[in-house]
Amino acid sequence: MIRLIGYFFGIGTVLFLVVAAGVAWYIGDVSKDLPDYEVLNSYEPPVTTRMHAASGELMAEYARERRLFLPIQAIPDRVKAAFLSAEDKNFYSHPGVDPVGLARAVVVNIQNLGSGRRPVGASTITQQVAKNFLLSSDQTIDRKVKEAILSFRIEQAYSKDRILELYLNEIFFGQNAYGIAGAALTYFNKSVNELTIAETAYLAALPKAPSNYHPFRHPERAIERRNWVIDRMVENGYVRTADGADAKALPLGVTPRKTGSYLFASEYFAEEVRRELIDRYGDDALYEGGLSVRTTLDPKLQAIARKALQKGLISYDERRGFRGPVTRIDVSADWGAPLSEVESLRDVPEWQLAVVLAASSDGVDVGLQPDREVSGAVAGERRTGTILPEDMKWAFRLDIAGDKRRNVKSAAEVLNPGDVVYVETIEKEGVKHLRLRQPPKVQGALVAMDPHTGRVLAMVGGFSFAQSEFNRATQAMRQPGSAFKPFVYAAALDNGYTPASVVLDAPIEIVSGGEIWKPKNYGGGSAGPSTLRLGIERSRNLMTVRLARDMGMNLVAEYAERFGLYDDMLPVLAMSLGSGETTVMRMASAYSVLANGGKQIKPSLIDRIQDRYGKTIFKHEERSCDACVATAWLTQEEPEVVDTREQVLDPMTAYQITSMMEGVVTRGTAASKVNLDRPTAGKTGTTNEEKDAWFMGYTADLVAGVFIGFDNPTPMGRGSTGGALAAPVFNEFMLGALEGTRPADFRVPQGMKLIAINRQTGMQAFEGEGGVIMEAFKPGTGPSDVYSVIGLEEFATGDAITTISPQANQAVNNGVGGLY
């Protein structure tokens, strides 16, 4: 018996050694190509880039995987407890693989043989880290062995907290949410420290199979799994029994966070910043780099700008008449469902879609589109209302096609049952009404900028980003028309001319290359000899052409490029009238130079960019202040901010042109259109056939530019000038933007002289003389002692290139009178 026992023992020992050798060989073979677990030291997961307004409000997020990395110290104990209870309750005691859990899984899987149930896993959190970071998800024995080996090694190399940190920031929760911070925002729009027991338990239930526990497709399963996690938390002593019972009685309470833009009216601004980030750093940095971007956007000014531009576009559009419904649907049965499927302008929340149910001379009965944000709204009670005739009076003028219009007398001639239209709820005398609306075809842009820093405070690129993502503020190349003239005059004032210099305003014909160009003043006519001030106030084209010709278009082109309006301007006379194409952003930047005293600025939509670690990798502010870092005052000099920006225009010239453009607002083409409680300078601009309407203007500390026109340049109709269309939008914006601020005068450079001159002749005025204005002159200059008219010499020379038409003679005589 003893020999028999010894015999079997020997055989067993040999078999054990053989098996052990085989296992050792297998493990050694598997271990040869194991990935390097030390890469976990440099773990940098794809992280969401977040964009903020200047006020700190979140504007937008960009990510391929919606993740925000949280260090383990920032993760609440309750969150850790939920995941430990759901995934690995022995995490802090096992060496990487849990033998007890593994044995339990083996027993359960044996019991479930033939039941069709999926095998139960026994992966610890460490094993999941090994699989997620270093291995594939293949369901093979080799992968499981590798996973176990790596788990032991990871446990030896890293602390438990570090392993848990990696796990909680890497796991997938569904809805493109990765990591616990991203999941908390995605499902509950909360930070992790705001999560309740029930919410934490639901998130801990998701990693097992996010699609199986979808909060809306499988709510019963989701609640069952959540409650199971709560029970485990109670069982493990993390939550009191009573608190667990209360948590289980709660609904899921999932409130999905919307994606895209989070700040009202910021879509155009955010998209422009997004493009700039891609140009600067590339796609991967934007969608995976976890950048923190602080923009220059002022949310208050942005909302005001949007409202002002939309009001101007709607006003013009409604004067042209009603173009018809958005679409048509069948209202003979249930109209709620088909109406709910019609796409609306999501970024114009003041408007909603409605379907016409009946129309008569007394008004139009409509059914309102169900609110998609309200659960069950589509199947719920139908909301209806009535559009009274006075609230759709503008639509009684029908825009049939092109320039054809037809007037009708009844609402029934405008709309028919089944027509889908936009309506807006307005209040008149305490009673709510529905007003008929239509998205305008005409478009526009508005840019507001701090002239001293170049920070873009507001930017609206069109009526609605949902309607069109094309940004007319930065992408549309348009002719500025007369809004370009201040830079022609600035070049003149910077090169020997004065605001009192006199230029002939009379018809002119210019022959070039066998072709004759006959520029005209808007509205026709001419005023004879006039000062530069009058020329810019009245926006005289003929004067501008003569002035540009007198000093040379090469000089005008140089100044236009210096101001950043064009990169390479063609030096031809037609360009002096703004026939070149530029953008609203460039125009606002150029006007900022006039407003700030001639300093070059770089328009910026971004104040600062930080990487995922908080290191600043870009800032717009380039001025330096070495002494600003002092921690205490030790009788040193006051710190000075060193401004190294280029001086592109004489400060005195900048003040002169500003003073002249104040006259545009008070007496010129923008008179009665711009009425602010402070000094305001500006210039209207209108191109041929009224295809583009502009107003560019500024106060001492704020520049704003407005453009209005069709995307496909089309005549907007007689009278659709910069003064009629764009200036009121500028005024509306500035009234809101400047409300509550103290008026400030334009800064007068030291040494400027103010001299009374005759507005017509430009010569020094006599005491008691009428038509007098105080004009600004640089040191060493002043009004001329001799009456001289630029362009008048053409009568005597008979210039072969430039000739004066016969009609000019009368204008000259009227202007000069008995003085010449």
The Cα–Cα gap between 718 and 431 comes to 37
Specify the residue for token string 């000899």. 529
The Cα–Cα gap between 338 and 89 comes to 51
* Helix H or strand E encompassing 109: helix 99-111
Answer yes or no: 87 catalytic: yes
CA nearest neighbour of 820 among 774, 763, 738: 763
The Cα–Cα gap between 558 and 556 comes to 5
3-state secondary structure at position 704: strand
- Residue 629 is given by DSSP the state G
The Cα–Cα gap between 303 and 307 comes to 6
Give the Å distances, CA to CA, from 570 to 65, 125, 566, 669, 760: 48, 68, 9, 28, 33
CA nearest neighbour of 174 among 209, 216, 224, 132: 209
The Cα–Cα gap between 610 and 614 comes to 5
Distance of CA 162 to the CA centre of its chain: 38
527 neighbors 813 (Cβ within 8 angstroms)? no
Q: Which residues pair with 777 in a beta bridge?
A: 753
Specify the residue for token string 């001319």. 497
CA nearest neighbour of 588 among 468, 486, 739: 486
Answer yes or no: 482 catalytic: yes
* Longest CA span, the chain: 149
Amino acid occupying residue 764: Q
2 Cβ contact list (under 8 Å, min separation 6): none
Catalytic pick among 123, 482, 576, 592:
482
The Cα–Cα gap between 42 and 77 comes to 25
Q: Which residues pair with 682 in a beta bridge?
A: 697
The catalytic residues are 87, 482
